[in-house]
Amino acid sequence: MAWSDGLIPTTPAYRIASSTNDRIRVVAGPGTGKSFAMKRRVARLLEMSVAPNRILPVTFTRVAAEDLHRELVNMGVTGCDELKGVTLHSLALRMLMRNHVLDATGRVPRPLNEFELEPLICDLANAHGGKKAAKRLKIAYEAAWARLQYQQPGYAPSPADAAFQADLLDWLRFHDSMLIGEVIPLLYQYLHSNPAAAERREYRHILVDEYQDLNRAEQGIVQLLSDSADVCIVGDDDQSIYSFKHAHPDGIREWLNANVGADDLGLDECRRCPTRIVEMANSLIGHNAQRPVPRPLNPMAANGAGEVQIVQYPTIAREVAGVAASVREMIANGTPPGDILVLTQSRAFGTPLYEALVTSGVPTKSYYAESELSHDNAKRAFALLKLFANREDRVALRWLVGVNGNNWHAAGYRRVREHCENNGMSPWEAMTELELGVLRLPYTAAIATSFRDIVQNLSDLEALPDLRAVVDQLFPNGQESTRNIRELAVAILDTITADSREDFVRELSTAISQPEIPTEIEDVRIMSLHKSKGLSAPVTIIAGCVQGLLPRPGPDDLTLAQQAQYLEEQRRLFYVGITRVKAAPADGKPGTLVLTYSQQMPVRDALSVGITPAWQQYDQALLHASQFIRELGPTAPVPIAG
């Protein structure tokens, strides 16, 4: 199929695909077909024989990356197999692993898993005001980098920040590791200080999706990679929902000033949603006063009006039962489960809903599912596996040796580390001597004991015939706490041929941190509003639309202006949610949106979800409908009691 098949030359989609301007900005609302236009643009480049490895399609999430790849394959475009959509994060990791880059940065691109942060925080807590303070300081360090504050003239961290950062960097260097939040900044630094680096001219075409969700460092990388590349950025500030990740949505506006002469294209026709929902979405987002340029979505009459229900229940238990009942009814009436998307603002709503659906026999998948590493058993086994593959994995060793102590044996470990630094030893070597009694250090008895167990565990593993046996030993069949990680490990074993421990561990790590995205959707999906971005479904249900949860009040240390911004982001989150509804008139699917909320919930649950109830009656918190329901305007139906 040719890139221009079915594209009408006067349409914006055609211009996006065909423009030869070396700078293009596309502002595109939800459901307006920006992925479609991007895909056609990539197809055109490939048909013009641009080498696939010189095209860089950057996406915010892996879902989008795989989507692009799949659609190009379906189009049968030559060269698409070699074209990989990547997230900036994975691109950065790949570049940081190149030898000359390693050399220049002096840092090992071995990001810490979430669970491996615990001993790091404990090691730094003492000198920096406790665990909480250390966590805050670590977040501040990553935030400063995400915002590129270090590059801004006049920026200076406070003495406390600077002292913490020095210690943090020492810890990371000593343990041959880095924070996940450093991956992007380190590549930024490398590219920034090496204008002659080949990386800066590696790509001929760069396409960036969801540009409003990138933070300053990420936007900076895109710029540094575009010395000799044509750049096409696509985004929508009305869908900017990642401020907690320091997204810099102003970047999409500033970009036009920095790239004078760029094509400025827009997609406004909402091809996805029913017209009634488009009108509600416009009314809702119109309440955001700080929009730079209001750009209403244009409804597409052929989609039909669609169906919308707003339902209030007396209690949260009734709400859960009610949603489950309507899902069952829809399925009984012929709606495929995969057509139904249930969105909630928190796990606390998602989990009971999931359980109710599963109990009533509805095939359901919760995207709130527990991580493979939520149990200590699984963490321990995984850390052992890392050490089994590489005795010099200092992070894994640090974790294992501290896990049984209430403070991660921070005091003793500090002595071990000092000894290593003074004598040029690795922790493995020092602990071996410690355990043999050759070396004596104060406060290290517990560490020596833990180390002895670790060595024993490892030698037990060494005695096993192959990796399959190692997996059976670490993640025993039938053990609930390691069931998820076992499934992953076994699946990987089935695909790899060589018995290489390093490869196996690397693949398992990747599989854990970057779960597979199911391509065949056969189940009802329950997920957060954030995760729903980029998806669409004929039936979308948003449960728990109550004030205090959606919108949330936001942290109390915000200024009035910041509070207003926070509220606007919450409104954008709801905007993203309701625009997931897909009308498919040809299939007789009108597109259905259901919004539910309840009048009361147990105070205990309210508190644990983050709602501070303004009113309560005995142990029940009294709830109110989200203000966003009201803001949907006159097109929205009158709420009914359920």
Contact window for DNA (CB under 7 A) among 232-240, 257-265, 346-354, 355-363: 346-354
To the nearest whole angstrom, how small is the minimum distance from the Cβ of residue 8 to DNA?
Answer: 34
Name the residue nearer to DNA (CB basis): 359 or 608: 608
Stretch that binds DNA, among 48-56, 270-278, 380-388, 524-532 (CB under 7 A): 524-532
Cβ atoms 122, 94 nearer than 8 A: no
Closer of 321 and 411 to DNA (Cβ): 411
Task: Select 352 or 412, whichever has its Cβ closest to DNA.
Answer: 412
- Out of 359, 608, 616, 617, which residue is the one contacting DNA (CB under 7 A)? 608
Phi and psi torsions of 307, nearest 5°: -115, 135
- Name which of residues 49 to 108 contact DNA (CB under 7 A): 61-62, 87, 89-90
Distance of alpha carbon 192 from alpha carbon 186, whole angstroms:
10
555 is an interface residue for DNA by CB under 7 A:
yes
Q: Smallest gap, in angstroms, from Cβ of residue 353 to DNA?
A: 13
Structural tokens at position 616: 């309560």
| 610 scored as a contact of DNA (CB under 7 A) | yes
Q: How far apart are CA 554 and CA 567, in angstroms?
A: 8
Q: Which of 18, 149, 407, 473 binds DNA (CB under 7 A)?
A: 407
Q: Is 443 in the site for DNA (CB under 7 A)?
A: yes
Closest to DNA by CB, 245 or 468: 245
> Which of 132/624 has CB closer to DNA?
132
Annotate 605-620 with three-state secondary structure. Answer: HHHHHCCCCCEEECCE
Closest distance of CB 597 from DNA, Å: 17
Under the binding rule (CB under 7 A), the answer on residue 513 touching DNA is: yes
Q: To the nearest 10°, report the CA torsion of 24, 30, 36, 37.
A: -20
Is residue 125 a contact point for DNA (CB under 7 A)?
A: yes
Q: Binder to DNA among 70, 100, 604, 624 (CB under 7 A)?
A: 604
User: Residue 405 or residue 476: which is nearer to DNA going by CB?
Assistant: 405
Kind plus residue range of the DSSP H or E element containing 378: helix 376-389
**Which of 385, 609, 623, 632 is in the footprint of DNA by CB under 7 A?**
609
Cβ atoms of residues 58 and 87 within 8 Å? yes
Is 558 a residue that touches DNA (CB under 7 A)?
no
Residue 411 binds to DNA (criterion: CB under 7 A): yes
**Tokens linked to 590:** 């009108």
Contact between residue 435 and residue 400 where contact means Cβ atoms under 8 Å apart:
no
| Residue among 181 and 352 whose Cβ is closer to DNA | 181
**Looking only at residues 2 through 31 of this chain, which bind DNA when binding is defined by CB under 7 A?**
none
Reference 533, options 158, 64, 17; nearest CA is: 64
Q: What is the DSSP letter of 233?
A: E
Select from 98, 147, 201, 347 the one that contacts DNA (CB under 7 A). 347
Sign of CA dihedral 217, 222, 227, 231: negative
CB of 48 to DNA, least distance (A): 30
- The helix or strand, by DSSP H or E, that contains position 504, with its residue range, turns out to be helix 501-513
Tokens of 611: 């709602």
d(CA 534, CA 31): 9
According to CB under 7 A, which one of 527, 537, 581, 601 is a site residue for DNA? 527
Residue type, 595: L
Least distance between DNA and beta carbon 104 (Å):
22
Interaction mask 162-181, DNA, x per CB under 7 A: ------------------xx
**Site residues (CB under 7 A) for DNA, limited to 618-637:** 619
* From candidates 70, 94, 100, 132, binder to DNA by CB under 7 A: 132
Q: Among 581, 586, 629, 594, which Cα is nearest to 274's?
A: 581
Distance in Å, CB of 341 to DNA, minimum: 13
Which ranges of 31-157 would DSSP assign to H, the alpha helix?
Answer: 34-47, 62-75, 88-96, 99-105, 117-125, 130-146
* Least spacing, CB of residue 184 vs DNA, in Å: 8
Total residues contacting DNA by CB under 7 A comes to 49
Return d(Cα 251, Cα 352) in angstroms, integer.
39
Q: Would you give the binding string for DNA spanning residues 178-207, x where CB under 7 A is met?
A: --xx-x------------------------
531 binds DNA (CB under 7 A): yes
Identify the burial level of 76 via C-beta atoms within 10 angstroms of its C-beta, where 0-12 means exposed, 13-18 middle and 19 or more buried.
exposed
Q: Check if the beta carbon of residue 188 is closer than 8 Å to that of residue 107.
A: no
Can you tell me the distance from the alpha carbon of 412 to that of 402, in angstroms, rounded to the nearest whole number?
9
Cα–Cα nearest to 11, from 44, 33, 39: 33
Torsion (CA) 517, 520, 522, 523 in degrees, nearest 10: 10
The three-state secondary structure class of 111 is: strand
Q: Is 298 helix (H, G, I), strand (E, B) or coil?
A: strand
State the Cα–Cα distance between residues 393 and 398, nearest whole angstrom.
9
Under the binding rule (CB under 7 A), the answer on residue 244 touching DNA is yes
Of residues 105 and 309, the one with the C-beta less far from DNA: 105
Q: Does the N-terminal peptide bond of residue 157 adopt cis geometry, omega within 30 degrees of 0? A: no
415 binds DNA (CB under 7 A): no
Nearer to DNA, 51 or 139 (CB): 139
What's the min distance (Å) between Cβ of 452 and DNA? 15
Residue 306 touches DNA, criterion: CB under 7 A: no
| Nearest distance in Å: CB 363, DNA | 21
- Does the footprint of DNA cover residue 412 (CB under 7 A)? yes
Q: Which stretch binds DNA (CB under 7 A): 192-200, 223-231, 294-302, 526-534?
A: 526-534
Q: What is the Cα–Cα distance from 172 to 183, expressed in whole angstroms? A: 13
Report whether 565 contacts 289 (CB < 8 A): no
Residues that bind DNA (CB under 7 A): 61-62, 87, 89-90, 114, 125, 130-133, 180-181, 183, 242, 244-245, 345-348, 368, 404-407, 409, 411-412, 443, 445-447, 513-514, 527-528, 530-531, 552, 554-555, 603-604, 607-610, 619
